[in-house]
Structures are given as C-alpha cells and as structure tokens.
Structure 1
C-alpha cells in the first residue's frame, strides 16, 4: 500500500463549485497528493488536500509564483485545472516547471474561439463559416455575408454565455451588446470580441476525450438538450456508457485531426460538435473536463473514473479509459417560472423520487433572486436531478418523475411550478 507521503504531488488550480467538482477531488486524492492554488481559503476541499496556497488572484503571474515556491520545496508531478478561466495558467505552470501537458500556445488556441476557427480553417477541417466583429456594423456586415440566421458568441466565454441565434438585423442589433459585454476574466484584450457564425441546424453532442502523446481517446459522449431559444441554455445532458459514437471511425478521425490542427497533445478535452448530414462539424474545443456534471454522468454510465484519468495524463501517465459498465445516465436542470423570482424554498418530495434518481439537489436557497434565460443564463437554475438506468426510456421516466416531485415555494406566495 502506498503511503500518503509517497504519492505524486499534483497541483490543481481552483476547485470550482463543490456540487459540480468534489467527486473529481475525491477520486484524485486516492492516488495523488493534491495541492490547491486558489484565491480563497480551502473549505470543503480540505479532506482531499495535501496543501493549499492562497494567491491574491488567479491570474498567470500569481499562479506561476505560487507554483515556483511549491516546486522549490518538493517535486511536483503535474498540474491541471478543470476551470475554463484557468486552463492557460495551468499550461504556463507546466511549461515553467517542465511538467507534462500541452503547450500554452495550443491551450490558448482552445480558449480563443477565433484562434480555434482560424487553425481549423487552415487545416480545412469541418466547421461553420465564420467572421469576426468588433462593432455592431461589422457584425451586421458579417451576417449579411454569411446569411441569416446566424449565431453570435463571445470570443472566449464559456458555458454558452452570450451565445444567441439571431434571424435578422433587428435581432442582431438587440442582442449584440449583451454578447459583447459577457465578462471573461483573465482574457487578453481583443479589439474584436464577437464571432458571427453560420447556424448549423443539427443535433449537438459533446465528447470528453483523453489525449496522451497526441493520441485522442473519446471517453464519454454527451447528448445535449437545449432550451430557451434563441439562447443555447444547456438544460440537460445524456450519456450512454456504450454510445456507438465512441467507436465511430469517422468521429475519431475528425477528433484526431482537430486536436492535431490545434497542437493539443496531452490532457483532457471537452469537444462540442454538430452532427450534420455532411458529417460532424466542430463548434468548440475546451482544454478541460466538461462541465454540468457530464464527466460524473460518464463515470456512472461507463465506470471510467474521469478524475483519475485526467490526473494521470496531467502527470505523464497513460490513463485507464476501459469501460466496465454500459448504463445510461443523465442530468436535468430546473428553472424558475419568471424573472426575478424570490425563492422561498426549493426541494424535492423525496418520497416521490424513483429508485433511478441518483442526485436531487437544490441550487439556490431562501431569499435568492433568480431568473430563467435570457436574464438568468446558467445562473438561473434552481435545482438539478441526475438519474442512472439500464435503458434510455427508464432514464427519461425517472427524470420526469423527479421534475414532478420538485417543490418550489416563491416568497410571498404558495408553491409554484418550475421549468
């Protein structure tokens, strides 16, 4: 049995929200000593940590300084971050300390959606037609060139924030400022912040992959559920442990070519694609684990441990991605009925939840004020439920029952239905 002080030391840059990321730290801590670098003191993370360094902010310079000090005291095996705003910092630390990982320039190409598009265009890989815009006039000209409807999105935001489908010039003018002004911490100052893209009317998937020495291995395929048009709010995800796309030669070839074009060689990626009649086309590549509990669903559906696999590759070890199960797992998010809803209480009638429900959690509490999209993109969620089942039909039935069991009390009134 390996003693705790013999485990390799892994630096993790920021931990994120407990409900979405603790399962990763729980697994990683069984094989690695985790040292967290963050701008706040560790709290719920403490049982999983060997150490914690608090920095004034999580920009590149403070994070690099902290990593240098840690490495001066003890050997560091690897570094990782599953937070979109900190993947470049992790890559810079890896370069500085000579650790495994993809070069920072390639990680920046993932972070900057225009750089992603440019690299894929040079390699002639399948993606939507696109234009870059800095002003409304430039965006209108780009949309005229591409043809409506078009999608506008921030150049470097995450989580579908500011991503909008617009059908004409009036809608574009109405949405432009909100998309342009999405806050993106630790991002370079660009003169042109908006991507205008061809709209692909096709199902969207996400593929979480491990990349080891340039070899791309798809681990989980997420089937997205989108709501609140014209926005692209991700209202749920489904993962099948034996999804046929995991062994699809065409998809694997596309993923391999995309990662090669970006120069992404080692790490975990979350790639979003549209399944068009002409084949898969890239929406974006994130140089991190997927959000919204997608890796958790993958773990429950397939038995593959995403925390350990991502940590292994971050430390230069070949990860184990062999599936040991073939279940179905899904998450569904719930929303308030109206803008500026003042929460009285949110919970589930636990007696009404079926056996297939895995997690049923409130995301807000009494006194919180929340809104559905447009006003509440992503942070408008009030609760979530996950389910695990042997069939997709049983999966959907369990989530429907969870939705019926959700109890929302609005301050100043009685129970209300939630979306």
Structure 2
C-alpha cells in the first residue's frame, strides 16, 4: 500500500502514525511545509519520500506534488493528515486521484457544524437549536424565539477560534458590525461541560477502540480568557456518552477513521438529572495530547492500533482501560502555589510526561503541560488541583 501523509510534522507526534504504518509494510509518502532537513529523525526514518511545499494552502501545488509522488511510486491508495485543517485537502485529493475514503464535497457534512445537525437527528441525539444568520435581523429573529445568551462561531471552524458568546442585542449588534465575511452559525448557549467520545473504526464501520475525556472547563472559555485547560479519562465510560457516540458513528457510517466527538453534559434545572447533547464531530484524532493520555490510561500504543486497523482491519493490542489519566496545564502569566520542582518532587511517580508548549497551540493547551495517571479519581484530582493552585 502507498500512503500519503499530509503535514506529518504537525503536531509533533505525527511521526508515530507514520512509523506504525511503515511497520505494517506500508510505503509512507509525505507532503509538508517544513524543509526535509528540519524534520524529526523518527519521521525521516518512517518516510520513503517527502515533498516540501512552502505553502500547503496552494492546492494546485499539493496536487502537482501528489502527481509527482504517484509517478515515482505508483497509485496512492490512502491519504490522511489526522489534522482538521487539511481534511478538505485530503477529500479533494481522493476525488482527483481516485483514492479510498470520503471525497469532496461530501466531506463538508463532517466539517460544517450546521450540516452535522442532520446526523445528530438521524442518530436521535439532542443538540442545540441553531440558525445561519447573515444579518442582525436574522440573529434577532432567532433570539426573539430562543432568548440569550447565544454562541456564534464559524460554520466551518477549527476549535474555539473566532467563537463568541452574546448576552444581549447590543453585543449582537457589535458582532454583526464586525462579522468576518464567512458563514457563521448561531446556537442556543448550553450550560455544561464537554465530554468526548473518541475512537477508531474499521473498514466495516465497527468501533475497534473507544474512550472518553471529561473536561473540567470549556475550551472556548479557556481560549477567550487565556486560562488553563484540564481534562481526564476514567476507566468506565458514561453509558449515555457511549450510546450517543455509537449512534452517531452509525449515522455517519464512519469507516477506517480515528474520530473525536464532543458532547455537552448539562443538568436539567427542574429534575436535577444530567443529559448529553451533541456539540460537534471531528473525523480525525482528538487534539492536544489526548492520544498520549489514552496510551497511559489503556497501556496501549494507540498509534499502532490506528495503523493496524487501517492496514489489516484489526489489531491484536489489548484495549482494556486500566486506570485514570489526565492532562493539566499552566500559563506563564499566573503565579502558582507550588513550583514545578515541588510538583515533580511530590507527584513525579504519577507524571508520565511534562513539557513546555510553544507557538499557536499554547493559548489553548497552556505554556507548560503535564500528562498524569493515577489509580483513583481522588488521587488524580489532588494532583490536578496542586498543579493549578494559584498564589
């Protein structure tokens, strides 16, 4: 099999996907915007050939680079980036070169938040009411019916970028006065925290691996307020998350894909009971360091699992969850009760990795991150609270 990996250098652990493809006998070809000499040694070792493009947003250049690689190696069967930003490019290449997988424009059902709603309905999973407003009048008609607050964000957006919560008509008027010239979706604000349903499907659409993260605060609030993000996984996934996530996998008929779904868990003010509501789907691995967290919580090489399933249709890895695991972060702008050295001295046996984060991902992930594991939720929360304790 010839496999094209787009932007294999980002995120930094992308080389792991490539390595385990190679170990499965795959010829891994790459196109990226980082010069070859600057690639990690592990990535260089996994790639058979790499084509450097200074600007990968130039689809014509990506097309020509792909054609050149096909000329050198023969037909390419698969293309992936495992990155939200390049999903449309992937789909266009599949269309133009007759590769396996979802093509363009069908990929937009996976990208545009408004088009996801039909699949949530098909799966019988609740979601927030919405509209696609072009003017203040459109927004007012929606809020007259549904009230404030509302959330507005690009209909085809990545993460929490350019996302705003509007609390009244004055804020809404300000938004429309400066609204970027791209389609925006407006949704009823849902008060709750995010829980995920992440996993890998095989060529028949069966879920081979699945797990969940529970966020301690919203990513949108983290980015808007330049705060720190914390989330964790538990050995036992919530039953309603598993049910809703599985139904959406079936509604989309997702095959040979690493997916990441997000749900709100919200509390009914009258009954006090919680329920889940679908937020969005992402047809790529979860971001941040969640794949690394699953390695800790399951004692499994999740990169190998993905490659095994994609190439062989199955994996022999043990996928049983073993323990609690978490992500915690710090921002340089805050003062903390415990120094980094004190955290390592007290909790070092429970810290799998820790490292600084630089560049565009630091605002969402934090300036310094910790990957944690523990045998109990109480112990895990103690470590998270200590990392986050502010002076």
TM-score by length of 1: 0.75
Q: Which moved more, 1:80-89 or 1:16-25?
A: 16-25
Tell me, in whole angstroms, the C-alpha distance in 2 between the residues paired with 1:169 and 1:20: 44
Tell me, in whole angstroms, the C-alpha distance in 2 between the residues paired with 1:314 and 1:69: 24
Give the match for residue 391 of structure 1: 376
Q: Which moved more, 1:62-71 or 1:202-211?
A: 62-71
Bigger strand fraction: 1
Q: 1:313 and 1:121, CA in 2 relative to 1: closer, same or farther beyond 3 A?
A: same
The answer (yes or no) to whether the contact 2:305–2:315 under 8 Å persists in 1 is yes
The Cα shift of 1:132 comes to: 0.8
The Cα shift of 1:280 comes to: 2.8
Q: 1:147 and 1:94, CA in 2 relative to 1: closer, same or farther beyond 3 A?
A: same
Give unpaired runs (5+ residues) of structure 1. 1-7, 182-190, 342-346, 405-416
Tell me, in whole angstroms, the C-alpha distance in 2 between the residues paired with 1:74 and 1:275: 48
The answer (yes or no) to whether the contact 2:79–2:90 under 8 Å persists in 1 is yes
Give the match for residue 154 of structure 1: 154
The Cα shift of 1:88 comes to: 2.1
1:41 to 7, 30, 35: 35
Give the match for residue 411 of structure 1: none
Give the match for residue 63 of structure 2: 64
Note the aligned Cα RMSD (angstroms): 3.4
- Give the total of aligned pairs: 369
The reply on whether 1:378 has 2:364 as its aligned counterpart is: yes
The Cα shift of 1:119 comes to: 4.5
2:325 to 322, 329, 344: 329
Q: Which moved more, 1:196-205 or 1:115-124?
A: 115-124
Give unpaired runs (5+ residues) of structure 2. 267-272
Bigger helix fraction: 2
- Kindly report which structure 2 residues correspond to 1:350-361, keeping only aligned pairs within 5 A, or say none: 350-351=344-345, 353-361=347-355
Tell me, in whole angstroms, the C-alpha distance in 2 between the residues paired with 1:215 and 1:234: 35
Give the match for residue 195 of structure 2: 205
What secondary structure is seen at the aligned counterpart in 1 of 2:217?
strand
The Cα shift of 1:134 comes to: 2.5
Q: 1:53 and 1:120, CA in 2 relative to 1: closer, same or farther beyond 3 A?
A: same
The Cα shift of 1:11 comes to: 1.6
What secondary structure is seen at the aligned counterpart in 2 of 1:271?
strand
1:306 to 276, 282, 302: 302
TM-score by length of 2: 0.80
- Kindly report which structure 2 residues correspond to 1:234-253, keeping only aligned pairs within 5 A, or say none: 235-240=229-234, 242-245=235-238, 248=239, 251-253=241-243
The answer (yes or no) to whether the contact 2:297–2:324 under 8 Å persists in 1 is yes
